[in-house]
Amino acid sequence: MTGVAEGPPGQSSLPERRVLPRRARVPRALWRGEEVTETLPIVDSLRLTPYRNPRVLAAAAEEREARASLDLALRVGELMLRCGAGAPQVESSVIAVAAAAGLDNLEVDITLQSLLVQCTTSSGGQITMLRVVRSATRDFARLVAVHEFVENLVAGSYDREAAAARLREIRRMPRFWPRWVVHGSMGVLAAAVALMLGASLFASVVAGASALLVDTTARRLGHRGLPEFYQCAIGGFIATAIAWGAFSLGAADLFPVSSADFAYVVAGGIVVLLPGRTVASAFEDVVSGYSVTGAGRMFGVLLTTAGIILGVAAALSFTLKLTAMLDLPIASPGILDLRATDAPVLLGVLGAVVVGLSGAVSLRSRRELVLPTGLLSGAAVGLSLVVSLVPGLGTLTAAGLASIGLGFAGRLVALRMGAPAMVLVVPASYGLLPGLAIFRGLYEMVTHSSADSGSLSMQGGLTTLLGAFAVLLAIATGTVLGEFLGAPFDHRMVQKRRARRR
């Protein structure tokens, strides 16, 4: 016997099983721990840059070849630092060149004056190289040439010897503009800024001449080794003194210069000293993860701005005493930012176009990029004027929104023309710089204790200066955000350019 009872015919003789309720299974993935943090592949850091998805060669087998390729990438970064590029642009270019050469295990460290690169070869050996850059100048035409050079390497045409020869040609090529044209563009820039503010034609010419003198003096002092802080202080003093001299002659009916023109001439004279590009680079470095480099740049901005404030404040204290002695009618204008408030809108936009054109020339940009820069500058100032007319939106919001649009459009236009975005964005943002706000804040701080100061106060001057600094921050962060928002829209453009180069 088997011990199993037989049932009636037609029924199964197997023992009856109890059906238990089925437990709900909890997914294991819900309780799975996080993956161990690993170093990202070096090529992934290029995903938002024009050098994304490079054509990578096989890893360099010989240490000699790897060392030569790493030296090429390092020299590219050194040249970009000398020409005024920011840390993100330098790092992406170095990584792109190294990746095109097959060096996928790479570490890059950038500071204000040095560039350290280390890689590991296929045999396990380590190569470390360092470059120190103690002096830099704005040379955007050379930056465009480096950008085209890196684009060719990323497209798959990497030949180390030919690439090294081409890089030497870029380093030695002459500049696009004569020195006198670059210096003259600073005067045109200042005159256009004064014209945007509503200054008379004669006052605009005085502002241009003041800027030329300030720029020439700063350059000569720089060649003698004087630090930039003192250059800005002396330049601010000269700009204010020249403006007061023109105003004094205007009060004597010798020149057609009014009381408001005095402020416009000062604003135009100091605009060539404002560290607009350095502020943008500082915040771009901080946003991109280069906190040390960004903090160093920002400290330099504070010193530069403090030098301008010191020079203008000293000149104001001196000239206001002379004004009281001569009984001249000078008053602070009620304009808080550098925009075409008193000037007609069309004249303000045209002045902004001239600001962009002259700014591009002053930064030694290529000739074919000058006109697009001017048009972008006019569009940015026009957008700022339109936004500022909306009730409830102030100048800070207007400057921020205009900067976002400038960064977005500048990236797409620049890449279509084969140039990095900063080549167009930086000079086009000059029309938004708050030069007049700095003068008004200093005027309020200097004259708050006088008998006829009216509503001027020390607190009001500090508030105005903080507002000017806030506008600088809005311009810097806005352009960076605009470039970031434009990154997904340039993918097809980059692929087409890369296909043509192949």
Q: Is the pLDDT of residue 473 over 50?
A: yes
- State the Cα–Cα distance between residues 267 and 211, nearest whole angstrom: 10
What per-residue confidence (pLDDT) applies to 145? 92
What local confidence, expressed as pLDDT, does residue 277 receive?
A: 64
Q: Amino acid identity, residue 196?
A: M
**Residue 130: φ, ψ to 5°:** -135, 140
What was the pLDDT predicted at 431? 81
Please state the rounded mean pLDDT for residues 74-88: 87
Q: 257 — phi, psi (to 5°)? A: -120, 120
CA–CA dist 470, 464 (Å, integer)? 10
**pLDDT of 494:** 67
pLDDT (0 to 100) of residue 252: 74
Does 499 have pLDDT greater than 70? no
Decide if pLDDT at 158 tops 60.
Answer: yes
Backbone torsion region of residue 249, taken as left when φ is above 0, otherwise alpha when ψ lies between -120 and 50, otherwise beta: alpha
Query: In sequence order, which residues have a C-beta less than 8 Å from that of residue 439 and are 6 or more positions away?
Result: 263, 266, 267, 270, 312
Task: Check pLDDT > 80 for residue 375.
Answer: yes
Which pTM value belongs to this model?
A: 0.77
